[in-house]
Chains A and B, each alone.
Chain A
Amino acid sequence: MFKTIKTSQLQLFAMLAAMLLIVVFFSIATDGAFISPRNISNLIRQTAIVGVLAIGMVFVIISAEIDLSVGSMMGLLGGIAAILDVWFNFPILLTVLVTVVAGLVLGLFNGWWVAYQRVPSFIVTLAGMLAFRGILVGLTDGATVAPTSSSLAIIGQSYIPSGWGISVVGLLCLGLVAKVYARRKARKQHGVENKAAKFEYAKAFVAVVVLLVLLYALESYRGIPTPILIMGGLILIATYVAKRTAFGRRVYAIGGNIEATRMSGVNVERTKMLVFGFNGMMVAVAALILTSRLGAGSPAAGNMAELDAIAACVIGGTSLAGGVGAVFGAIMGALIMASLDNGMSMLDVPTFWQLIVKGMILLLAVWLDVKTKKAQ
């Protein structure tokens, strides 16, 4: 039976198994504190920033490029949001709008150099990593911009009223089951063989159970944190863009073979630039969440965040060679990294050990990936 499972599914199982292992280990080690509603709420709130960054990054990596500037860019955009809010007292909606547009512009700037000027993305974004940080320090004079308004705090610190939260998750569960049903029906119409009904519905059932358990845990603390709702929405949108739109299809094709894609008449340059633009918008969202949570714009904010985002994508099965990867995987990767951080902090593991463990996990994940591909 194992032979018939595709590599991507194998990877999914491996990730879920790793996640389960981490949860069980830390739960035992912390006498259950790890799975207390309060900690679960904290943990997935911590995931939100890297998760949103990973959503943008996964598109960049699928198109066989890299973006090293997202950490500095997040710092700069967070700084801009704080400045607009603290110094100029912009209304919250305008602050959000300006920040997201600024993110789009910075992303397109990176993308223009990569796609149209053919400068390797490693170099373009390395330059961005330095320059964006420099701009941030220059703008803020190296000082923290604080305190941000209470309305900005909504983005990163508030919780969704429980009635709303429950109905959103309920709709999501229904949607999941409906999707499986619709897909099976479509396949049947095209005479494509369906996998066993039990298997597909079981998968949806597991997802529904996980969602409901999470909902229960979150509701028994303070409710669904707003950043998680934002991340959830972005996951749905990004997955749809990746899997169901022409744009997403072309991104995968460019990563798979850019020359053949160009020969097929796809506007490769524009697509690439848009990938970086999309990534910039995701960075802006992450920056807003970060500034809101910190209640301030700090010149050091977002330092090294690009590495977390890249690690999340890679652990989540995205190939740095391009053409392979998924939004959901990247989110799982972010969750695994955040769980390790959270669990080890609870156990008072010294910071240096945390870095070593995270490094080893990254290595191990990619090694396993290489191994399983070779076995195929």
Chain B
Amino acid sequence: MKQTLLDMRSIVKSFSGVRALNGVSIQLDRGEVLSICGENGSGKSTLMKVLSGVWPFGSYEGEIFFEGNLVRASTIRDTEALGIVIIHQELALVKELSVMENIFLGNELGSFARLNDEEMHRRTSELLARVKLDVLPDTPIRDLGVGQQQLVEIAKALNKNVKLLILDEPTSSLTTTEIDILLNIVSELKQQGIACIYISHKLDEVLALSDWVTVIRDGDHIDTKVAAQLTQNDIISMMVGRELDELFPREEHDIGEVVLRVKHATAKQAGATRAQVEDVSFELRHGEILGIAGLIGSGRTELMQCLYGSYDGDYEAEIELEGRIINIRSQRVALEAGIAMVPEDRKRHGIVPIMSVGRNITLSVLGQYSSWFGAVNEDKESNDIDDYIEQLKVKTASADLSIKNLSGGNQQKAIIAKCLLTHPKILILDEPTRGIDVGAKYEIYKLMFALVKQGMSIIMVSSELSEVIGISDRVLVMHEGRLKGQFDYQGLTQEMIMNCAIKEGVANV
């Protein structure tokens, strides 16, 4: 009889009175893979923090049994000693050190006076072979790609004699090939009897990999089912608690005259030989959603930075907004001209984490509420904040709550609210739904259509091809800084975009 490896019984965890987990139970046997699905903010990461000892024993209700014993961990070290290893989305490797040094960091072999490099070298080679990573143990981490680093993390976990491996959104920044390699490794570890908890928004991976799927919503344990009996739609409707009629709620809207003309946009880092954006020209129409696709590094983001005045190198472009030539030299000029942007990196460029939701929303337009000596009219400000929180359905207990406590999707809505308060004519969305759950994505799409119906124009950069096709009216494809193709959404397929984005040669510009 197989012994249950992990048994978490009705875990309840509250933060200042708010229940983040409301009686979640999961069981897992050796060599099984359990996927946990839920929207951002549903309690997945809290559950993993309870399991891995970030929240110590006693700070939650319920019991955790591992190999039949009650877990009383007070730090991550304690759970790692038991064989529970969590690999976070943000990798915890020291970039300057080698693969070997990272794998043995904190567990170095040898005596205090002298490290046993030969043995560590040998063990590292073995571990790398197990995760099928073909690099030398002495390679510095910074020379490896994200996917390879991910594998080093797994090798590190194997070195600690892992019995339960937790992967938190491991594939969100990987290429398709890297994802395949990672999924293969997990399947092989499974054969070796290692159990795995897999957290991902990518439901195709979830279904391909798991034995069980657990769905959590608002801290409640919705259900745990055998993966083989589920479809993606089943999982989605369990996650959002309602049937989604479709993933992309396209709505009819009128497209008008050209509002923005960009000619010969070129952007180059100081001293670089190759331009990041090279001679790109395009037009944007009134009420249009223009999708921009291309691989990472194709110059999509840099092109948007030129339009918003936030590119940090040298750039030139002839930009004509509503027939008027404008020189966008800073973000302020862009905002005053009527161009607002939701940046790609939400944490770095989007939010001021320690400030409240409300104050983040009004940061761009404080001048609107200020008297001549700069005093902020907080009545007027609160009214606007309340309005936009309601309109955009930002889920927050209060506008005074620190924005870092919100889920990614709600932070994103708050940033969009910040942009909308500037009453832009053109809204640039750079990867608007990255790392955001299905429900919030759907709401953001709905909002985008509502905005273009009101006459706004939207430029959306996205790596998700289905999203580009599902939402845009027209799609531009970029490749190595140049504009390589232009398509109408009707009849457009993902293959067409990929072909255009990858292959050399000029398509129908």
Contacts and interface: CB of A to CB of B under 8 A. Distances in A.
B410 to A, nearest CB: 16
Contacts of B398: 192
A265 B16 contact: no
A256 B375 contact: no
A58 to B, nearest CB: 16
B8 to A, nearest CB: 25
Contact of A263 (B341, B373, B376, B378): B341
A245 B374 contact: yes
A189 B379 CA distance: 9
Contact of A186 (B332, B349, B378): B378
B136 interface: no
B237 interface: no
Nearest to A265: B335
Give the most central of A253, A264, A266: most B CB within 10 Å: A264
Interface in B402-429: 418, 422
Nearest to B369: A246
A267 interface: yes
Interface string A227-247: 000000000000011001111
Contacts of A267: 332
Contacts of B351: 257, 260
Given A190-B386, A245-B374, A256 B331 contact: no
A371 to B, nearest CB: 16
B352 A245 contact: no
B119 interface: no
A264 B364 contact: yes
A264 B349 CA distance: 9
A252 B363 contact: no
A250 B16 contact: no
3 closest Cβ pairs, A-B complex: A256-B352, A246-B366, A245-B374
Contacts of A259: 348-349
Interface stretch (B76-84, B353-361, B457-465): B353-361
B363 A261 contact: yes
Interface in B201-232: none
B334 interface: yes
B354 A246 contact: no
A256 B402 CA distance: 12
A246 B377 CA distance: 10
B17 interface: yes
A247 B332 CA distance: 16
B332 A265 contact: yes
A252 B418 CA distance: 17
Chain B interface size, under 10 / 10 to 19 / 20 to 34 / 35 or more: 35 or more
Contacts of B373: 245
A246 B362 CA distance: 10
A262 B418 CA distance: 13
A240 B375 CA distance: 8
B352 A265 contact: no
B17 A246 contact: no
B355 A256 contact: yes
A249 interface: yes
B422 to A, nearest CB: 7
Contacts of A246: 366-367, 369-370, 374-376
Contacts of A257: 348, 351-353
Nearest to A241: B374
Contact of A323 (B331, B334, B352, B386): B352
A3 interface: yes
A270 to B, nearest CB: 10
B366 A263 contact: no
Contact of B349 (A189, A252, A260): A260
B348 A260 contact: yes
21 contacts: A4-B17, A244-B375, A245-B373, A245-B375, A246-B366, A246-B376, A247-B374, A249-B359, A249-B366, A249-B376, A250-B366, A256-B352, A257-B348, A257-B352, A260-B348, A260-B351, A260-B363, A265-B334, A265-B335, A265-B422, A323-B354
Contacts of A263: 310, 331, 341, 343, 349-350
A191 to B, nearest CB: 8
B376 A256 contact: no
